[in-house]
Amino acid sequence: MAALDKRTHDLKFVRTFFTTPTAEQGEADSAKKLRSAIGLRGMQAPDVWVPDNEDATAPNMRDEGAENIAEVVAEGGADFPGEIHPRVVWHRDSPETRYKGFQHMLHIADPENGAVENIDGFVIPEVGDIDDWKKADEFFTIVENEHGLEEGSLKMSVIIESGSAELGMEKLRDEMGKASNNLQRLFMLVDGEVDYTKDLRAITPTGGLPAWKELRHNTSRAASAAGLIAVDGPYDDIRDVEGYHERITANNAMGMLGIWSLTPGQVVEANQSPLPPAEGYWLIDADGREVELETEEGVEVYDGDRIELEAEDGGYELEVGGDEFFCETEEDLVAELLDLLDYVPSMDDIVDSMEEFEAAKEAGKGAIAMTQAATVRIDGVEVDIAQDRMWDEATYQALQTPITLFQDVYRNRPDQHGDLAELYSEDVVERAMSVGN
Amino acid sequence: MAALDKRTHDLKFVRTFFTTPTAEQGEADSAKKLRSAIGLRGMQAPDVWVPDNEDATAPNMRDEGAENIAEVVAEGGADFPGEIHPRVVWHRDSPETRYKGFQHMLHIADPENGAVENIDGFVIPEVGDIDDWKKADEFFTIVENEHGLEEGSLKMSVIIESGSAELGMEKLRDEMGKASNNLQRLFMLVDGEVDYTKDLRAITPTGGLPAWKELRHNTSRAASAAGLIAVDGPYDDIRDVEGYHERITANNAMGMLGIWSLTPGQVVEANQSPLPPAEGYWLIDADGREVELETEEGVEVYDGDRIELEAEDGGYELEVGGDEFFCETEEDLVAELLDLLDYVPSMDDIVDSMEEFEAAKEAGKGAIAMTQAATVRIDGVEVDIAQDRMWDEATYQALQTPITLFQDVYRNRPDQHGDLAELYSEDVVERAMSVGN
Amino acid sequence: MAALDKRTHDLKFVRTFFTTPTAEQGEADSAKKLRSAIGLRGMQAPDVWVPDNEDATAPNMRDEGAENIAEVVAEGGADFPGEIHPRVVWHRDSPETRYKGFQHMLHIADPENGAVENIDGFVIPEVGDIDDWKKADEFFTIVENEHGLEEGSLKMSVIIESGSAELGMEKLRDEMGKASNNLQRLFMLVDGEVDYTKDLRAITPTGGLPAWKELRHNTSRAASAAGLIAVDGPYDDIRDVEGYHERITANNAMGMLGIWSLTPGQVVEANQSPLPPAEGYWLIDADGREVELETEEGVEVYDGDRIELEAEDGGYELEVGGDEFFCETEEDLVAELLDLLDYVPSMDDIVDSMEEFEAAKEAGKGAIAMTQAATVRIDGVEVDIAQDRMWDEATYQALQTPITLFQDVYRNRPDQHGDLAELYSEDVVERAMSVGN
């Protein structure tokens, strides 16, 4: 069955989870936003598109929303470059809501409506403990059976927005594969921090969302243990691009490579952020704040006021955030600066290093040193520095993740080939596709 | 049975957990501190009072302590405004200690001693894994049976002060409700960081307590998953009111709204801290330190030295912690300042916003923008700023927690009505009691 | 059987876990590094020595590595002062690797090779969920049975380097002691952050390792709950002694007292870091950075630029990181300074306090105040300060951990007696060995 082939193409990474209201009152076409979203292509198109028949759509519009999803996906789903996972209603505390969600799934997946071969799965919000997940799974199984789909072919993703769901994630390895469920259909674990905050009854003075770092760690860990994909919740301040980027960077350091996107602009940012940059750059720790050095004619320049440097008395006076260090020799100064500096490698740099390590390994060497050199200028004083890093098999494999991500993106998203080639150059893209295999 | 009615009045929140030694040697009346504590009223009286027959009382005084508890609660318990939960001795590694704790519970709950109708439950310290919790639960059941109390009517709270107890919390959803226990009696999960530090064998250079943030998150999460109440452990430096307040603020952001109090002064602070302030105020991020602006004749003033602002060259020079930004227009400056500023809403502000959102919802709108405007002055330069925030159903519900807390406090603590009306005004209290229902 | 006696000497703490390649190509003697490592004594010798037949040794050299281990331990194992736990190959996803690891264990533990009586156990890397741990345990049991060793006599330690292993740790209390396994043989839980980063697919811009604080907490907690020992993974930058020390300090505050060491220099640092210092010292919070005061002729001096102090207008002007406080009296100033200052007690100080508390307890007192006084000088202004700390039974026990650690080290490592006596003096060592018992 063709639909299943598509569904089994097996995304291994999800960078972007983009939600769209399914039906809006007072519009000539209540499905207008769905029709617009399904037309997205390239960096503006998400890895996973989520027609949102829950919170983004008014309760009295959700029956119409389910019909809109079926109609719009039937028309445009085949050409959409990402996967399509509608979110239906669900609540661990309400059988009425759960039954409503089941009915919407039944409708959207009905082959007569022509959408199901481009529906990859459904997103279930507000789940509770693992037994509640099983109730949702059972509805998936009934939907599949009613509609002649293969059991387990519709993927199930859940929103983690309660303490019980957070604990439920820890049981997946024990529960997936049991004879009386099809939980192997699980695909994404998505954090929902707004409702999680409510469920945990947290209070902040400004009303801002807590960071919930432990939740994100636990989600990433559970995804790793059960072969699933971890996705962070929405970042509400859509004008704060820098803040969104920082959140993604922090998430990536926990293994959470995907994030919710509320606008096509956020989709672009979240599609790019976890990939290595096109150009490498140096960071300096300016008294607790990480500052990017600017490259001027081959020299890396710090021009802030938090670090000061002066040649003096035959040595160097280095001042960081009010603390002074006197370096008697240039060697001492280089050592001090290396403690403050760090290099962010470009895609090209990473591919280079991997190629070099692969060659060394073939020649029988287990570890090699990679060097990154630069001339750094602070307050007009220029210093040559060089940073060494040992690479062994473990380093090689751990640093391979961004390349594996890139390769997965490249294979699954032909619509982004042009953007990627423009960003990195054809040559780098080609080499990145052939290392590490 | 009247006693049970009182016990089922069902506190949904606990702000304060106040312990008192039960028997002191060398005093004419060994129960003097108990008699003093049971007389507390208003903001000085805790939500939960804990006559402490464990660590606060010398081992050789604990039999007398159990008698004192029964006697003092029999006399004054009916008039005490909070719940009463004596702590008895217990240890996961000592059957002798466990049996002693059982005997003390049997005595305190004996109807002949006249205290039980005002005893809401017991606090069990030093529990281990979930099977150890069940041993304590079984003793509660026997005590209830012996004394003709309804099974499950005495609430059980535990102190989490071991790694095994921290893991035990994760199993509550699986274990509560099983036929052979009465673990539904569970009420509070209370962290005990001093003994937890010992159990985990942690060492800090100064001997100060580690922050144990993961423990607090896990406790709050477990409480949420099992319908219980999370309470943090003691804050030893009773003179450091600001530090205590900061700890409470950090706890609240994790959903842990209760904290141990060692003195009536700490009780006052901990009863007030999780409630919204009477007056709203602005915060500014002064190079990593959050500073409260002072209101002077309607203008919000920053008068520290970490941020500098000057009108210059037709624009503005803004300096934050040594980094300079030049803003060409006032609009740019406002954008920069909005990144640094945040508003802490008063009770009145929150009630206003909720009322406004409720009206919008009734009019069929799913989301509205709330605006907070102010004039900010830095180094004599005044700027008008306005901060927008989108409110939808999820925001509304997440921000409702402080109001729900207030309503619970108001219903359960008539003795605090006067203090609350004085703090917020009668009008605000009345409106706060009627929103969100 | 003599071998078992040695194996049951029961280290209660492990400060150092030192790995050595087992076979290197191109050397006249492929076991050269093993022979060198087994000769380490005193502070350079680790508590646990790990001949590393996994990542540190090239795959094609591992059969020879297993032979080298047996040979070198047969020769020098009896004189080695720490325990010996070779690491063999294992992988949750590869039965081939697991079988190879089993064969290596069989060889190393074969009494005919003469090493087994000085082999304390094996380290199993790359474990998955608890069922994978059981597979390894079963191979230990078969090895013991084949070689006539007592069941459970070989200790098993695991490297936690996957999400599934992190979750597996939480089940130890349920699984250890079951009739069909010998998991009571478990000894150390060792974090492996490089491979964990790979397993969780984490990405950092610079390629640096994430801090994985939650993993370390969970490891320490699991060790505590199951009576095991928590050890942190390797710290790659072997020249960065200060960074290594800071990592150890952070680990210790989580109850993780052991750490991997890659060089004898790291062993020395990691053997000493968790023990109290020989001399106490004061710390000051200099606008977010902890700075150690220097003692000059009995006065504690701060000579940085982040804190300024001046006698002025009959009071004191104190400036911290750009914020000014005016203190009208010396008393106010002392209060401000006490908020910034903290004292790190020496071994001597801790022993003193414990002795004092023990005497007080014997005299029937449950709590006493300990005072630490000093004269502090900032910008030439001298102030006398005194810090009080209440000690009760719980404080006493929590602060006893470094002493218990010291006593365990002293009992298990006679080869370090000389170094310890030199560091602390004979008198302090003797008193430290007799408090707290």
Q: Which amino acid is at B253?
A: A
Residue span(s) of chain B under CATH 3.20.20.60 come to 12-272
Tell whether the model's pLDDT for residue B229 goes beyond 50. yes
| Mean pLDDT in residue range B236-260 | 95
pLDDT tens-digit map of B281-294: 999 999 888 999 99
Tell whether the model's pLDDT for residue B213 goes beyond 90. yes
Output the 3-class SS for C208-242.
CCCCCHHHHHHHHHHHHHHCCEEEECCCCCCCCHH
> CA-CA distance, A397 to C162, in Å (whole number)?
14
C224 vs B55, B200, B304: nearest CB:
B200
pLDDT at A365 (0 to 100): 78
Tell whether the model's pLDDT for residue C9 goes beyond 90. no
A214 vs B217, B322, B344: nearest CB:
B217
At A278, list the tokens.
């096109």
Q: CATH: 3.20.20.60, 3.60.15.10, 3.10.310.10, 1.20.58.1560. Which one for C401-434?
A: 1.20.58.1560
pLDDT tens-digit map of C95-129: 999 999 999 999 999 999 999 999 999 999 999 99
pLDDT at B288 (0 to 100): 86
CA terminus-to-terminus distance, chain A: 31
Give the nearest chain A residue to C201 (CA atoms).
A255
> CA-CA distance, B276 to A85, in Å (whole number)?
40
> CA-CA distance, C314 to A81, in Å (whole number)?
74
Which of B224, B256, B293 is the best substitution to test chain A (most A C-beta atoms within 10 A)?
B224
Closest CA–CA distance from residue A162 to any residue of chain B (Å): 7
Tell whether the model's pLDDT for residue C426 goes beyond 90. yes
Tell whether the model's pLDDT for residue B437 goes beyond 80. no
Under a CB-based contact definition with an 8 Å cutoff, are residues A336 and A318 in contact? yes
To which residue do tokens 């919390």 refer? B169
- Number of alpha helices (DSSP H) and beta strands (DSSP E) in chain C: 17, 18
pLDDT at B36 (0 to 100): 97
Residues of A in contact with C199 (CB under 8 A): 224
Q: Which of A328, A309, A310 has the alpha carbon at shortest distance from A320?
A: A309
Which are the catalytic amino acids of A? 392
Tell whether the model's pLDDT for residue C10 goes beyond 90. no
Average of per-residue pLDDT values in chain B? 94
Under a CB-based contact definition with an 8 Å cutoff, are residues C43 and C419 in contact? yes
Residue span(s) of chain A under CATH 3.20.20.60 come to 8-272
CB contacts under 8 A, C 351-390 vs B, are 364, 366, 389-390
Phi, psi of C84, rounded to the nearest 5 degrees: -125, 120
Tell whether the model's pLDDT for residue B8 goes beyond 80. no
pLDDT at B239 (0 to 100): 86
What Å distances lie between residue B386 and B341, B370, B371, C343, C373, CA to CA? 10, 10, 6, 46, 51
Closest CA–CA distance from residue A76 to any residue of chain C (Å): 33
- Low-confidence residues of chain A, pLDDT below 50? 1-9
Tell whether the model's pLDDT for residue B5 goes beyond 70. no
Q: Which of C135, C122, C153, C136 has the alpha carbon at shortest distance from C54?
A: C122
Output the 3-class SS for chain B.
CHHHHHHCCCCCCCCEEEEEECCCCCCCCCCHHHHHHCCCCHHHCCCEEEEECCCCCCHHHHHHHHHHHHHHHHHHHHHCCCEECCECCCCCCCHHHHHHHHHHHHHHCCHHHCCHHHCCEEEECCCCCHHHHHHHHHHHHHHHHHCCCCCCCCEEEEEECCHHHHHHHHHHHHHCCCCCCCHHHEEEEEECHHHHHHHCCCCCCCCCCCCCHHHHHHHHHHHHHHCCEEEECCCCCCCCHHHHHHHHHHHHCCCCCEEEECCHHHHHHHHHCCCCCCCCEEEEEECCEEEECEEECCEEEECCCCEEEEEECCEEEEEECCEEEEECCHHHHHHHHHHHEEEECCHHHHHHHHHHHHHHHHCCCCEEEEEEEEEEEECCEEEEEEEEEEEEHHHHHHCCHHHHHHHHHHHHCHHHHHHHHHHHCHHHHHHHHHCCC
Regarding the domain delimited by B402-434, which CATH topology (the fold level of the hierarchy) does it fall under?
Methane Monooxygenase Hydroxylase; Chain G, domain 1 (1.20.58)
pLDDT-based confidence at C370, cuts 50/70/90? confident
Q: Which of A10-14, A200-204, B405-409, C261-265 has the lowest mean pLDDT?
A: A10-14
Interface size B-C, in CB pairs within 8 Å, comes to: 107
A323 and B CB contact within 8 Å: no
Residues of A in contact with C25 (CB under 8 A): 364
**What single string gives the DSSP state of each residue in A131-172?**
HHHHHHHHHHHHHHHHTTPPTT-SEEEEEE-SHHHHHHGGGH
| Mean pLDDT in residue range C48-61 | 94
CB contacts under 8 A, C 113-132 vs A, are 129
> CA-CA distance, B405 to B413, in Å (whole number)?
12
Which are the catalytic amino acids of C? 392
pLDDT at A367 (0 to 100): 79
Under a CB-based contact definition with an 8 Å cutoff, are residues A333 and A316 in contact? yes
Residue span(s) of chain B under CATH 1.20.58.1560 come to 402-434
Residue span(s) of chain C under CATH 1.20.58.1560 come to 401-434
Is the domain C7-272 a CATH 3.20.20.60 member?
A: yes
Residue span(s) of chain C under CATH 3.20.20.60 come to 7-272
Please report which helix (H) or strand (E) contains residue A19, including its range.
Answer: strand A16-21
Q: Is A343's CB within 8 Å of C214's CB?
A: no
Domain B12-272: CATH class, spelled out? alpha beta
| Mean pLDDT in residue range B69-77 | 98
Tell whether the model's pLDDT for residue B259 goes beyond 60. yes
Please report which helix (H) or strand (E) contains residue C323, including its range.
Answer: strand C323-327
pLDDT at C8 (0 to 100): 40
Regarding the domain delimited by A8-272, which CATH topology (the fold level of the hierarchy) does it fall under?
TIM Barrel (3.20.20)
C250 and B CB contact within 8 Å: no
What dihedral angle (degrees, nearest 10) is formed by the CA atoms of C55, C61, C67, C68? -70
> CA-CA distance, A282 to A294, in Å (whole number)?
8
C400 and B CB contact within 8 Å: yes
> CA-CA distance, C106 to C89, in Å (whole number)?
13
pLDDT tens-digit map of C285-331: 998 889 999 999 999 999 988 899 999 889 999 999 778 889 999 99
Please report which helix (H) or strand (E) contains residue C282, including its range.
Answer: strand C281-286
pLDDT at B1 (0 to 100): 32
Share of chain C above pLDDT 90, in %: 86
Tell whether the model's pLDDT for residue B6 goes beyond 50. no
Supply the DSSP symbol for C186: E
> CA-CA distance, A88 to A51, in Å (whole number)?
9
pLDDT tens-digit map of B346-378: 999 999 999 999 998 888 777 788 899 999 999
At B221, list the tokens.
């999460």
Under a CB-based contact definition with an 8 Å cutoff, are residues B369 and B402 in contact? no
To which residue do tokens 């959140």 refer? A247
Share of chain B above pLDDT 90, in %: 85
C306 and A CB contact within 8 Å: yes
Give the nearest chain B residue to A200 (CA atoms).
B255
Q: Which of A24-28, B299-303, C86-90, C327-331 has the lowest mean pLDDT?
A: A24-28
A274 and C CB contact within 8 Å: yes
C55 vs A257, A324, A394: nearest CB:
A394
Give the burial string for B366-376 (b: 16+ CB within 10 Å, else e).
bbbebebebeb
pLDDT at C236 (0 to 100): 86
What Å distances lie between residue B253 and A67, A197, A203, CA to CA? 40, 8, 5
Report ipTM for this prediction.
0.94
pLDDT at A246 (0 to 100): 96
Q: Which of A25-29, B29-33, B173-177, B346-350 has the lowest mean pLDDT?
A: A25-29
Question: What residues contact residue A72 under an 8 Å CB cut-off, 6+ apart?
Answer: A31, A34, A35, A38, A51
Known active-site residue B392: yes
Tell whether the model's pLDDT for residue C27 goes beyond 90. no
pLDDT at B347 (0 to 100): 96
> CA-CA distance, A358 to A403, in Å (whole number)?
14
Under a CB-based contact definition with an 8 Å cutoff, are residues B230 and B257 in contact? yes
Cβ neighbours, 10 Å, residue B10: 8
